[in-house]
Structure 1
Amino acid sequence: MNYFVLFVFPLVLVCTSAFLPYKQVLQHSRIRGRQHGPNVCAMQQIMGSNKKYFTNCKQWYHRKICGKPTVIRYECCPGYSRVQGEKGCPVALPIDNIYNTLGNVGSSTTQLYSDRAKLRPEIEGPGTFTIFAPSNEAWASLPQEIIDALVSNVNIELLNALHYHMVDRRILTDELRHGATLPSMYQDLNIYIHHYSNGIVTVNCARIMMADHLATNGVVHVIDKVITAFTNTIQDTLDVDDNFQQLRAAVAAAGLEEMLSQDGEYTLFAPTDEAFKKIPPATLNRILGDPEALKSLLNYHILNKIQCAEAIISGAPMETLEGSSLEVGCDGNSHTINGKKIITNKDLLTTNGVIHTIDELLIPDSAKTLLELTKKPGVTKIGDLFKQAGLTSYLEGKELLTLLAPQDVAFTEVSTVMNEDVRNLLLSHIVKDQLSSKYLYHGQLLETLNGKKLRVFVYRNALCVENSCIAAHDRRGRYGSMMIMDKILTPPVATVMDILKADDRFSMLVGAIQTAGLTETLNRPGTFTIFAPTNEAILTLPNRERNRIVGDPSLLKYHITEQILVSGGAASQIVLLKSLHGAKLEVGTKRHVLHVNKFPVIESDLMATNGVIHAINQVLQPSATRQSESQNGMEISSDDILRFGVSPAKVPRPRIRKVRGAILQKSK
């Protein structure tokens, strides 16, 4: 056991340490690899590619990067090598000058171009430098015309390109802070560093593959791309690229040109003109003609940070300037937004951010009409019904409204043949004013478009409007909000007594209520919950018990509480309701069916103006335990203890002493 604790503790320490993320990931890789000997690092390689990553906690257990399976490779950690006959990587590599180090770390092409550009004497001689050296594969991936341009012009272009990869001092990964800029050795033009929480470090959005290869005159970091200098802003890029004419006009109309021209750190997911053409003209014209909706639309495409594509190895929500989030991720070599492969060109760098070109316009909820919000999968049926009813004007106008939208599954067992009753029911699902569920409170009344008053019920695990409870987060549109509900709303139209009278199943219960003198109670304003036994339930009772329900008001009162509990309010928990009798009812849900005292409710949520009715095929009997709990200090008779087997240990001591003599007397 002690050995196990010693083994796990370093892993916990690595995953939570205060080191910079790159060092944390490197240390985690060392720990995972140490079973193979000293200075061995565990690397995860994406199957079918040459891309390798030091492994972090999450990747290690998931064994996936960008949704693709990985294989574990055990390699020497940076700065170490193997020796024949020895386990692991016990030999520290000798330190040489930068020129020779380039050949040892997989960047021999950079070494070759250093010769051609007459850079070799500089990186062999005295001085201290950091070079971000493109790997051989990075050079090979450049188009031939670019290579030809670099090596022409008496090699000055190649020298300038190499100098842009260099800084005139030694900089290890400990100093490569997120958002840092380093003046390069080419006209002091900046190199942009980003150090992400997953341990990936980028240089102008090129990933550092192997870091901290020390040299006698500096350090070499191997990167996966050839980087180039730039001086343009995001706005400058939009101004000169003909693919962004529509975006450029929209940015100008929304007054965002100044922001995209100033200093900052932004990521712009830039829709092309073709992306704008995919939007229905009516929708696009509506947004372009509404300054607030247009600004929301554009801000939904902008992050207030620089997110390089190479630093994305799994999906993650990223907050936009609009306020809501985009799910930015990857799928193999493709990058995704909200699960779609719509990024067509990535990592277009500027001095104030990065641009990723997308071929689909992203429309946030805040720029949508209520009708457009209903196109979300899972709530499309309500929108279709409004179209069939000819009521879409309510969902497309500028009036502030809230749509209580039942999920599609709520309509599976309900007839939606269009008639006036259905139209009226649809209007009962639209509440005046644009509301947010986080501001709803218990007992609040919401007025619908057709004049109905809907009650709000707040429970520990549910927030409900009448019989329907909120099933997902609100969606807030331009003028209206949509609350996604789990059921079709049934606005109340009568009292609980009127509903019972109108339903033949409860005729015997109604007679008992009238005999007991409870009619007036159940007709007055209130907040009743009635667990209503059907005629069938009463008829199954022996004659004596049947007569008792008619002649014993206390038994009837055990079926009634003075607080409204709809079925959704008892989901995933047990609720104790105090009845008018005084004893408590135990209400809960089992396999999505409401139960009371462990008996199933055969029909729930018959909504009334003064409460709710749940139909049951059982007459409920208050148990001795429930009676004693509700009596809270009332006398417990010896008859109760003998008849129901109440344990004396559960009875307060003064009452135990009081009834002990009676118990002994009966036992004689």
Structure 2
Amino acid sequence: MELKSVFIVSLCLVAGVKCVAAAAPTPAPNSTLQPILEVCHHVGANKFHQLIQNSSGSYLLKLLQDSAKYPGSFSAFAFTDKAFFNAPAEVQNMAGQELEWLLQYHFAMGYAGNFGSKSDYLYPSVFPSPLEESLPPQDIRINRYNIYESAKLGFHKVVTASGAQILKADVPASNGVVHLIDKVMYPIPYGSNLPEFLANAPDLSTLTYLLKNNSILANLATDPAHPLTLFAPTDTAFSRLTDAQKEKLKDKKTATHVLTYHVLNHALYHAGMYNYQKLTALSGDSILVERGVGGTSVAGKMLTYFDITVTNGVIYKLAEVMFPPGV
């Protein structure tokens, strides 16, 4: 089978569709464009480029090499060198299959760009390859936020990819496009929605129990097109409650009020938060965001873990439980 046919079949397999007779993509009219990996290198994503190039024989590298002459094949979300070295230690120490999965998630299938006013727009990623997992392709979620700076400067636009801010967009390559992002998109989704993630998070067991006991958990299984944000207090956060606060949570009406105060009816990544921002919780109450050198808080409670992407939204971990005003 010739190279172009191998590539077409591979792309169909990644997309999880049956590959029937299909014409090869038309070669790029601009023959001066370089392949995606070379473009990543030139825009400053040197570590990103190196990690993929060093994965000799990997599924991702083969796809990129085989598609080098075919435009619109893939879209890379390439993290900067600074982003990699600021990533958690578990990211910097990744190797083998785990690293391959992480890198696969940083590529969307086909053209993903010209985002404009798009928000909560989903692009299927190359992760997982059909050779490794039975999951469907995991989506990269694009969001657009208006960030307030000051009375003089007003608002500016921020576009994110699964929570990573896009610093430079739509850099053309012979086989697609490159977007430079300010952080590694991690942790990557593994097919879980909000309830499924909570069921497998040992440090969120108290929250999961309360959500289920108060008939809220199942309602968090929204369609990916209608995402949610969950500020999730850890078990440690619940252990810090006073006896009076614990007693309040035994009342179903009060518990429902408190728990829905931790949910937003849209996907809000950290890059979309700004100081003194007012959010509206599912409970109808307002939540004040404060950002400073000490970190980010919501309703005065510190966020301890950010931007956990699930199929239908995003999760944060909270150091304390939030109580709505007057509760």
Q: TM-score range by the shorter chain?
A: 0.7 to 0.9
Pair 1:248 & 2:208 matched: yes
> What is the rounded CA distance, in whole Å, between the counterparts of 1:145 and 1:303 in structure 2?
29
Post-superposition shift, 1:309?
A: 0.7
Pair 1:194 & 2:143 matched: yes
Matches within 5 A, 1:523-542: none
| Structure 1 or 2: more helix by fraction | 1
Which residue in the other structure is 1:260 paired with? 220
1:100/1:257 Cα in 2 relative to 1: closer, same or farther (>3 Å)? same
Matches within 5 A, 1:358-369: 358-365=318-325, 368=327
Structure with higher RCO (Cα < 8 A, 6+ apart): 2
Which residue in the other structure is 2:118 paired with? 177
Post-superposition shift, 1:218?
A: 1.9
Which residue in the other structure is 1:577 paired with? none
Matching residue's letter, 1:193: I
Q: Deviations over 1:563-597 (max 9, x none)?
A: xxxxxxxxxxxxxxxxxxxxxxxxxxxxxxxxxxx
Pair 1:309 & 2:309 matched: no
Share of identical aligned residues, percent?
A: 26
Which residue in the other structure is 2:102 paired with? 161
Matches within 5 A, 1:324-403: 324-332=285-293, 334-338=295-299, 340=300, 342-365=302-325, 368=327
Post-superposition shift, 1:341?
A: 5.3
Pair 1:231 & 2:191 matched: yes
Pair 1:136 & 2:81 matched: yes
Which of 295, 298, 323 is matched with 2:259 structurally? 298
Number of residue pairs the alignment of both structures matches: 268
1:144/1:256 Cα in 2 relative to 1: closer, same or farther (>3 Å)? closer
> What is the rounded CA distance, in whole Å, between the counterparts of 2:302 and 2:319 in structure 1?
6
CA contact (8 A) 2:301 2:321 kept: no
Q: Deviations over 1:134-171 (max 9, x none)?
A: 11122223455544543x3xxx5544432321123233
Matching residue's letter, 1:162: L
> What is the rounded CA distance, in whole Å, between the counterparts of 2:294 and 2:177 in structure 1?
30
Q: Deviations over 1:44-75 (max 9, x none)?
A: xxxxxxxxxxxxxxxxxxxxxxxxxxxxxxxx
CA contact (8 A) 1:99 1:124 kept: no
Matching residue's letter, 2:297: T
> What is the rounded CA distance, in whole Å, between the counterparts of 1:365 and 1:95 in structure 2?
57
Post-superposition shift, 1:272?
A: 1.8
CA contact (8 A) 2:71 2:174 kept: no
Q: Deviations over 1:348-406 (max 9, x none)?
A: 2211221111112111135x2xxxxxxxxxxxxxxxxxxxxxxxxxxxxxxxxxxxxxx
Pair 1:125 & 2:86 matched: no
Q: Deviations over 1:447-475 (max 9, x none)?
A: xxxxxxxxxxxxxxxxxxxxxxxxxxxxx
CA contact (8 A) 1:301 1:320 kept: yes
Post-superposition shift, 1:197?
A: 2.4
Post-superposition shift, 1:124?
A: 3.6
1:237/1:98 Cα in 2 relative to 1: closer, same or farther (>3 Å)? same
Q: Deviations over 1:522-558 (max 9, x none)?
A: xxxxxxxxxxxxxxxxxxxxxxxxxxxxxxxxxxxxx
User: What TM-score does the superposition give when structure 1 sets the normalisation length?
Assistant: 0.38
CA contact (8 A) 1:210 1:223 kept: yes
Post-superposition shift, 1:334?
A: 1.1
Post-superposition shift, 1:262?
A: 3.4
Which of 167, 174, 178 is matched with 1:209 structurally? 167
